Amino acid sequence: MEAKWIVSLVVAVAVVAHVALYRWVKFKIQEGVILQFLRDSAEEGAPDHHHASAIAAHTQLPAERVAAVCAKSKEIIADPEAGQSWRARS
């Protein structure tokens, strides 16, 4: 009976670790896509900040997800002049 509990615990820990790793990788990929867009647009002479909906249109991510990723990212900062606008950290 104890072996079943140990196996169940190991499986539960493995599932939780897998979900956490999946979410982290997904976040890092989306963060990278947004950062690349912000850096590319700055190099092309566009403003260095963009609204979440503009980022969403270019990255094909939902605007809500763009805002969530930008808010969580340490590499992307909010533009204090305009709400929901973001720029890459210099």
The pLDDT tens digits of the residues spanning 34-65 come to: 999 998 888 877 777 788 899 999 999 999 99
Q: Which CATH number goes with the domain that contains 20?
A: 1.10.10
Burial 13-50, CB ≥16 within 10 A → b, else e: eeeeeeeeeeeeeeeeebbebbbebbeebbeeeeeebb
Q: Which pLDDT score is estimated for 1?
A: 67
Domain range for 6 is 2-88
Query: What are φ and ψ of residue 46, in 5° steps?
Result: -75, 165
For the chain, the domain total comes to 1
The pLDDT tens digits of the residues spanning 5-15 come to: 999 999 999 99
